[in-house]
Homo-oligomer: A and B are copies of this chain.
């Protein structure tokens, strides 16, 4: 079992510093492996990376996860594992991200202890209300908010929420301090609109993983967010 590198507090500092939350999708990486894509993203300054993999066997994910852990540590970046709490613990990830159909966040917190980030996907007002309660209890650290736009990177995405739900999250975040990242179909051509309603963090998957020039893409996404940001 690998030791965590950043831990919960440091990882959330990286979250706050990151307008772009990078998520892997090897099936949409133009033939490149996750390690190649993540290395390019780290070179471009990415500090918060999620290892999401829906198709590989856990044994292969464990081997790859150890390498991703080593790589992200070299760049001082946080590594979050999607779904697999056991895998996250074993590879020394700084956090785990779970959805509404995964293990309940409160149970996950009992398992991982206090020093690990837990992110939770939310899709509507009810999810968000529950997430605020979990945040106030110290169970979760941030929420995903979406899918804002249609997405092809999940087999069974939740219904598209549009920008209205992002606006609700902006208000909720302002009131409660709950950090959130907008997610779902966010790309260079629409990220400005998401930033314009107040989102300070956007998760981007295929627009980064498919980019020929990953560094250039991250720079362009970041620039678009800044251009349209509320403040």
Residues in chain A within 8 A of chain B (CB atoms): 1, 57-60, 62, 83-87, 89-90, 100-104, 107-108, 110-111
Of B57, B89, B103, which contacts A58 at CB under 8 A? Answer: B103
Does A102 contact B1, Cβ atoms closer than 8 Å? no
Q: Complex: how many Å from CA A202 to CA B59?
A: 26
Q: Which residues of B lie under 8 Å from residue A110 when comparing CB positions?
A: 1, 90
If A57-B101, A86-B86 are given as contacts, then 15 extra A-B residue pairs at C-beta distance below 8 Å, sorted by A number, are A1-B107, A1-B110, A57-B102, A58-B101, A58-B102, A58-B103, A59-B101, A59-B102, A59-B104, A62-B107, A86-B89, A86-B103, A90-B103, A90-B107, A90-B111
Q: Which residues of B lie under 8 Å from residue A57 when comparing CB positions?
A: 101-102
- Closest B residue to A56 by beta carbon equals B101
Q: Complex: how many Å from CA A89 to CA B111?
A: 8
Task: Pick 28 A–B contacts, CB within 8 A, sort by A.
Answer: A1-B107, A1-B111, A57-B101, A57-B102, A58-B83, A58-B101, A58-B102, A58-B103, A59-B100, A59-B101, A59-B102, A59-B103, A59-B104, A60-B101, A62-B103, A62-B104, A62-B107, A84-B86, A85-B86, A86-B86, A86-B89, A86-B103, A86-B108, A86-B111, A87-B103, A89-B111, A90-B103, A90-B107
Q: Which residues of B lie under 8 Å from residue A107 when comparing CB positions?
A: 1, 62, 90
Task: Give A77 Cβ to nearest chain B Cβ, in Å.
Answer: 23
Q: Which residues of B lie under 8 Å from residue A59 when comparing CB positions?
A: 100-104
Task: Give A1 Cβ to nearest chain B Cβ, in Å.
Answer: 4
Closest 5 CB pairs of A and B: A57-B101, A85-B86, A86-B86, A1-B110, A59-B101
Q: Complex: how many Å from CA A75 to CA B10?
A: 47
- Closest B residue to A109 by beta carbon equals B1
Q: Which residues of B lie under 8 Å from residue A104 when comparing CB positions?
A: 59, 62
Q: Which residues of B lie under 8 Å from residue A103 when comparing CB positions?
A: 58-59, 62, 86-87, 90
